[in-house]
């Protein structure tokens, strides 16, 4: 290990290798109950740095764990699956290599943040929108895409809207996918498959290579935009809502990654647990839940999404939504014009003291509008404060600074009301058993499937609660998988539940790993189980 660090020091600048105690401690922090500790942190600035680093790792058989920005909140943050890895922090590889306004795509390095690309698109008046997640301004777009994360717009499926990868392999070779490996290739960032096998899927949720460049598709700003939300009163109305909206999603009328969140999810985005009102009791008593719903003027579930297109298309889509949910829930449209009106009116209403909580309404609408137009904010990160006993310092949005504990459980289910209800019925008793609240969102990720994002939120300062969170997490995953609702993505704690040695899928995944990285030096244990020593032939 030390020999490897010495070798890295010889080829890199002094500020590119850091094994100081404060740095190692900082990179060990996690929103999970337990992080892992690296041996050092390396800061490459270009692809050839990555190649040289990996060649040394290969020679010394040291594990390197690439992170883009390390903001993998709730899944493992910047932590490797195992202690002692060299963290390959790609944050200094943050070039926006190309933005093509005619064909609406960007080519970026892993260190490019959501905030950075957004600012670039604005400052250069590109007329292009990106899709963003709730992971904040400093989160990496590449990192999210490689873990198959998603956002809120028509381009919400990030892997689906990526096109063209550059990846460094364990032996230092640089592989370009799609058409990118042909000289003068014209369509590298507009047609994903190239010719021959389509390899991009190999580099997501795996450890076969280090992606150092990625093409991302962007959206021309639509002519018209209208936000809508629907609230329903009862827990079981989720089923009605899913079944009412599925035909619209499937017909292409709701092309965005549409989200349906429960009341608890909204409470957690607006403030922390009502410790005072509940006298410290957990989980949230029904009476308090009802009080909070009333106070915020929300129902059991809220659907929120945006309609985009020409003015006529948006009008047609509004009509289709209106017809689909008629009699089922309370529907509100907020167009850009209406939003301007609200922006004008709110300060005046505030001054006059006439309206109920108008400032809060405006703030949450502003956040939603931003997100649905691909403008990243740090707002959603506050959801990690939910169970904190002490109010966090105002000056940091970083969950790791405030001690917010967060474990995502994110199963995939068919887009039916039955399945949504079934998932809720599975998880509710588990959350209750460990005195947590079932914070839940269902995202219509494509035209047929939803991803449920369930959140075990806890206070890292409370050892007992942290312990309960771990058990709650494992019970949730086990209960869901037993009924065939498998995770779309996993945190460090869930990885060992996914792979089965007897399953040809995982056998093949491991065989590919052994071929591309026989010493298992890239992200050992990430999705692909650690390789066993090979049997003598």
Residues 252-281 that bind a second copy (CB under 8 A): 252-253, 255
**Choice between 67 and 413, CB closer to a second copy:** 413
> Least distance (Å) from a second copy to the CB of residue 516?
7
> Least distance (Å) from a second copy to the CB of residue 492?
14
Q: Of 174, 63, 1, which Cα lies nearest the Cα of 531?
A: 63
> Least distance (Å) from a second copy to the CB of residue 304?
20
**Tokens standing for residue 234:** 């009862």
> Least distance (Å) from a second copy to the CB of residue 48?
15
> Least distance (Å) from a second copy to the CB of residue 430?
18
What does the DSSP 8-state code read for residue 85?
P
Stretch near a second copy under the rule CB under 8 A, chosen from 63-71, 76-84, 196-204, 430-438: 196-204
Long-range contacts of 285-289 (CB under 8 A, 24+ apart): 289/263, 289/264
Q: Is 479 in the site for a second copy (CB under 8 A)?
A: no
Residues 431-460 that bind a second copy (CB under 8 A): 445-449, 451
What is the distance between the alpha carbons of residues 308 and 298, in angstroms, rounded to a whole number?
25
**Choice between 432 and 512, CB closer to a second copy:** 512
Q: Is 21 in the site for a second copy (CB under 8 A)?
A: no
Q: Of 181, 215, 186, which Cα lies nearest the Cα of 105?
A: 215
**Choice between 393 and 482, CB closer to a second copy:** 482
**Choice between 10 and 198, CB closer to a second copy:** 198
Query: Which burial class, exposed, middle or buried, applies to 96 when counting CB atoms under 10 A from its CB (0-12, 13-18, 19+)?
Result: middle
Whether the Cβ atoms of residue 84 and residue 500 lie closer than 8 Å to each other: no
Angle at 405 between CA 402 and CA 410, to 5 degrees: 135
Entry field: residues in the chain: 537
What is the distance of C-alpha 54 from the center of its chain? 27
**Choice between 392 and 494, CB closer to a second copy:** 494
> Least distance (Å) from a second copy to the CB of residue 422?
9
Q: 155 CB contacts (<8 Å, ≥6 apart)?
A: 130, 131, 161, 217, 218, 219
Q: Count other Cβ atoms within 10 Å, centred on residue 244.
A: 22
**Choice between 153 and 371, CB closer to a second copy:** 153
**Choice between 256 and 470, CB closer to a second copy:** 256
Residues 85-144 that bind a second copy (CB under 8 A): 102-105
Residues 408-427 that bind a second copy (CB under 8 A): 412-416, 419
Angle at 24 between CA 21 and CA 26, to 5 degrees: 105
Applying CB under 8 A, the site for a second copy has a residue count of 99
**Choice between 318 and 349, CB closer to a second copy:** 318
Q: Is 45 in the site for a second copy (CB under 8 A)?
A: no
Q: Is 533 in the site for a second copy (CB under 8 A)?
A: no
Write the secondary structure of 102-151 as one string of H (helix), E (strand) and C (coil): CCCEEEECCCCEHHHHHHHHHHCCCCEECCCCCCCCCCEHHHHHHCCCEC
What is the distance between the alpha carbons of residues 284 and 265, in angstroms, rounded to a whole number?
13
**Choice between 13 and 322, CB closer to a second copy:** 322
Q: Count other Cβ atoms within 10 Å, centred on residue 495.
A: 18
> Least distance (Å) from a second copy to the CB of residue 383?
23
Q: Is 61 in the site for a second copy (CB under 8 A)?
A: no
> Least distance (Å) from a second copy to the CB of residue 203?
8
**Pattern of binders to a second copy over 287-326, x per CB under 8 A?**
---------------------xxx-xx-xxx-xx------
Q: 109 CB contacts (<8 Å, ≥6 apart)?
A: 90, 93, 94, 95, 96, 97, 142, 212, 213
Stretch near a second copy under the rule CB under 8 A, chosen from 112-120, 257-265, 399-407, 500-508: 500-508
Q: Of 228, 67, 255, which Cα lies nearest the Cα of 156?
A: 255
Q: Of 69, 71, 65, which Cα lies nearest the Cα of 85?
A: 65
> Least distance (Å) from a second copy to the CB of residue 260?
17
Stretch near a second copy under the rule CB under 8 A, chosen from 38-46, 348-356, 367-375, 502-510: 502-510
Q: Is 521 in the site for a second copy (CB under 8 A)?
A: no
DSSP 203-242: GSSS-S-EEEEEEEE-EEPPSEEEEEEEEESSTTHHHHHH
Q: Is 69 in the site for a second copy (CB under 8 A)?
A: no
**Choice between 55 and 270, CB closer to a second copy:** 55
- For CA atoms 11, 13, 16, 17, give the dihedral sign: positive
Q: Which of 264, 380, 516, 522 binds a second copy (CB under 8 A)?
A: 516
> Least distance (Å) from a second copy to the CB of residue 497?
10
What is the distance between the alpha carbons of residues 78 and 88, in angstroms, rounded to a whole number?
10
> Least distance (Å) from a second copy to the CB of residue 263?
26
Residues 148-187 that bind a second copy (CB under 8 A): 148, 154, 159, 163, 169, 173-177, 179, 181-187
Q: Is 222 in the site for a second copy (CB under 8 A)?
A: yes
**Choice between 30 and 177, CB closer to a second copy:** 177
What does the DSSP 8-state code read for residue 378?
S
> Least distance (Å) from a second copy to the CB of residue 201?
3
Q: Is 518 in the site for a second copy (CB under 8 A)?
A: no
């Amino acid at each position: 290990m030390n020999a490897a660090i010495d070798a890295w020091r010889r080829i890199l600048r002094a500020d590119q290798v850091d094994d100081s105690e404060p740095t190692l401690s900082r990179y060990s922090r996690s929103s999970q109950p337990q992080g892992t500790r690296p041996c050092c942190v390396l800061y490459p600035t270009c692809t050839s740095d990555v190649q040289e680093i990996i060649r040394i790792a290969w020679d010394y058989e040291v594990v390197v764990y690439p992170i883009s920005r390390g903001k993998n909140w709730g899944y493992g943050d910047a932590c490797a699956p195992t202690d002692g890895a060299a963290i390959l922090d790609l944050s200094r590889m943050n070039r926006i290599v190309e933005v093509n306004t005619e064909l609406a795509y960007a080519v970026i390095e892993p260190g490019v943040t959501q905030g950075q690309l957004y600012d670039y698109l604005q400052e250069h008046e590109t007329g292009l929108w990106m899709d963003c997640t709730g992971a904040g301004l400093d989160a990496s777009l590449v990192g999210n895409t490689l873990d198959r994360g998603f956002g809120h717009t028509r381009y919400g499926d990030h892997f689906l809207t990526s096109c063209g990868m550059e990846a460094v392999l364990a032996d230092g070779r640089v592989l370009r996918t799609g058409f990118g490996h042909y000289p003068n290739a014209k369509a590298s960032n507009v047609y994903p498959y190239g010719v021959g096998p389509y390899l991009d899927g190999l580099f997501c949720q795996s450890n076969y290579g280090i992606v150092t460049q990625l093409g991302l598709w962007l959206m021309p700003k639509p002519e018209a935009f209208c936000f809508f939300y629907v609230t329903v009163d009862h827990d079981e109305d989720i089923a009605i809502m899913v079944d009412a909206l599925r035909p619209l999603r499937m017909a292409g009328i709701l092309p965005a990654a549409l989200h349906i969140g429960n009341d608890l999810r909204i409470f957690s985005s607006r403030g922390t647990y009502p410790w005072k009102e509940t006298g410290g009791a957990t989980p949230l008593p029904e009476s308090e839940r009802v009080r909070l719903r009333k106070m915020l003027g929300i129902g059991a579930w809220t659907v929120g999404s945006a309609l985009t297109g020409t003015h006529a298309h948006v009008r047609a889509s509004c009509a289709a939504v209106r017809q689909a949910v008629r009699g089922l829930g309370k529907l509100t449209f907020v167009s850009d014009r209406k939003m301007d009106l609200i922006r004008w009116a709110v300060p005046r209403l505030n001054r006059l003291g006439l309206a109920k909580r108008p400032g809060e309404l405006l703030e949450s609408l502003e956040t939603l509008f931003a997100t649905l137009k691909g403008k990243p904010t740090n707002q959603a990160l506050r959801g990690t404060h939910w169970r904190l006993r002490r109010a966090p310092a105002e000056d940091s949005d970083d969950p790791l600074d405030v001690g917010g504990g967060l474990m995502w459980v994110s199963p995939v289910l068919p887009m039916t009301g039955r399945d949504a209800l079934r998932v809720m019925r599975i998880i509710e008793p588990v959350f209750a058993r460990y005195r947590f609240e079932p914070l839940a969102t269902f995202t219509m990720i494509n035209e047929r499937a939803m991803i449920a994002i369930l959140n075990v939120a806890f206070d890292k300062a409370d050892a007992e609660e942290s312990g309960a969170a771990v058990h709650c997490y494992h019970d949730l995953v086990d209960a869901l998988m037993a009924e065939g609702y498998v995770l779309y993505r996993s945190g460090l704690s869930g990885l060992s539940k996914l792979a089965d040695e007897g399953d040809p899928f995982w056998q093949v995944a491991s065989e590919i790993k052994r071929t591309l990285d026989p010493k298992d030096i890239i992200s050992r244990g990430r999705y692909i189980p650690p390789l066993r020593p090979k049997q003598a032939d």
